[in-house]
C-alpha cells in the first residue's frame, strides 16, 4: 500500500469511521453521503471529504460513499488485515477483563498468550488463551514473532516489564498502566490508554451544561422581576 504521511488527528478519527461504517453496514445501509455521515459523527461534510482524500479517491461527487467498500478500505489502512499478534502481560482486573470481554480478533489481532507472576493464575485459561509464567516471557519473545504487548501489570511493575519488552525488540506496547514509558533509546511504539482523559472531557461537558442551565435560570429570574 502506498504510504502518505497522514496527520495524527486523521488517524485518530479512522477507528470512529470504522465503527460507524460497521454499524451502517449491519443495518443494511449501502451508500451514504458525506453530509449524512458527518451528521452522525458530529463532523462537517468537508472535514470528512478531506480526511478520506488523504488516502485517495473514495466517493463520487453527489453520489455518496459505498459503505462496504469504504469500510474495507479504512480497515485495511488501519492494518486490520495484517494478522498482528499480541500477548497480554499482567492478568489482574483490567488484564482479565480484556481477555474476557475485548474481542481482539474483531480488530484483526490474535491474542496468543498471557503472562503473570501469580502461581494461582499461571496455567489458567480464559477464552482459549492460557496464562504463562513471567519467567517464560523472554524465551517466548525470542521464539515467537509478537507485534504488540498489552501491558496491564501493576504500576510498580510497569517500567521494568517495559524495559524487558524494549530489549526484546517488540514493535509496540499498548499501555494500560498509567505510567509514562519514556525510554529514549527504545524504538518501540507506545500507545497509552488514559481513562482520565475521557472522564475529564465528560467533566468539561457536564460543567458547560450546568453553566448554561444556571445562566438560563438567571435570565428567567431577571425577566420575572
Cα 77 to the chain's mean position, in Å? 14
Site for its own copies in 50-109 (CB under 8 A): 77-80, 82, 84, 92-94, 96-98, 100-102, 106-109
Min separation Cβ 60 and its own copies, Å: 26
Give 111: exposed, middle or buried? Use CB within 10 Å, 0-12, 13-18, 19+: buried
Please report the sign of the dihedral spanned by the C-alpha atoms of residue 64, residue 67, residue 73, residue 75.
positive
By beta-carbon proximity to its own copies, the closer residue of 55 and 115 is 55
Min separation Cβ 210 and its own copies, Å: 8
Among 30, 208, 216, 219, binds its own copies (CB under 8 A): 208
Site for its own copies in 20-39 (CB under 8 A): 23
CA distance 182 to 172: 13
* CB neighbour list of residue 46: distance below 8 Å, 6 or more residues apart: 34
Phi and psi at residue 88, to the nearest 5°: -120, 135
Half-sphere exposure of 183 (CA within 13 A, CB side): 21
Among 18, 88, 151, 153, binds its own copies (CB under 8 A): 18
Q: Contact residues for its own copies (CB under 8 A)?
A: 1, 3, 8-9, 11-12, 14-16, 18-19, 23, 42, 77-80, 82, 84, 92-94, 96-98, 100-102, 106-109, 147-148, 171-172, 174, 180, 189, 191, 193-212, 215
Amino acid at each position: 500500500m502506498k504510504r502518505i504521511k497522514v496527520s495524527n488527528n486523521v488517524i485518530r478519527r479512522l477507528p470512529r469511521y470504522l465503527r460507524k461504517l460497521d454499524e451502517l453496514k449491519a443495518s443494511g445501509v449501502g451508500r451514504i453521503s458525506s453530509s449524512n455521515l458527518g451528521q452522525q459523527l458530529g463532523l462537517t461534510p468537508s472535514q470528512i471529504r478531506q480526511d478520506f482524500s488523504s488516502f485517495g479517491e473514495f466517493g463520487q461527487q453527489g453520489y455518496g460513499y459505498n459503505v462496504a467498500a469504504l469500510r474495507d478500505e479504512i480497515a485495511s489502512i488501519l492494518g486490520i488485515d495484517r494478522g498482528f499478534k499480541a500477548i497480554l502481560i499482567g492478568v489482574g482486573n483490567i488484564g482479565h477483563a480484556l481477555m474476557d470481554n475485548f474481542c481482539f480478533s474483531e480488530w484483526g489481532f490474535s491474542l496468543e498468550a498471557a503472562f503473570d507472576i501469580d502461581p494461582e493464575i499461571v496455567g489458567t485459561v480464559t477464552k482459549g488463551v492460557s496464562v504463562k509464567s513471567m519467567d517464560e516471557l523472554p524465551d517466548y519473545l525470542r521464539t515467537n514473532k509478537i507485534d504488540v504487548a498489552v501491558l496491564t501489570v501493576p504500576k510498580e511493575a510497569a517500567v521494568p516489564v517495559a524495559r524487558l519488552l524494549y530489549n526484546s525488540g517488540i514493535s509496540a506496547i499498548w499501555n494500560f498502566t498509567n505510567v509514562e514509558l519514556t525510554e529514549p533509546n527504545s524504538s518501540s511504539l507506545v500507545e497509552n490508554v488514559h481513562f482520565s482523559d475521557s472522564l475529564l472531557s465528560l467533566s468539561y461537558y457536564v460543567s458547560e451544561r450546568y453553566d448554561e442551565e444556571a445562566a438560563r435560570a438567571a435570565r428567567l429570574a431577571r425577566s420575572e422581576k
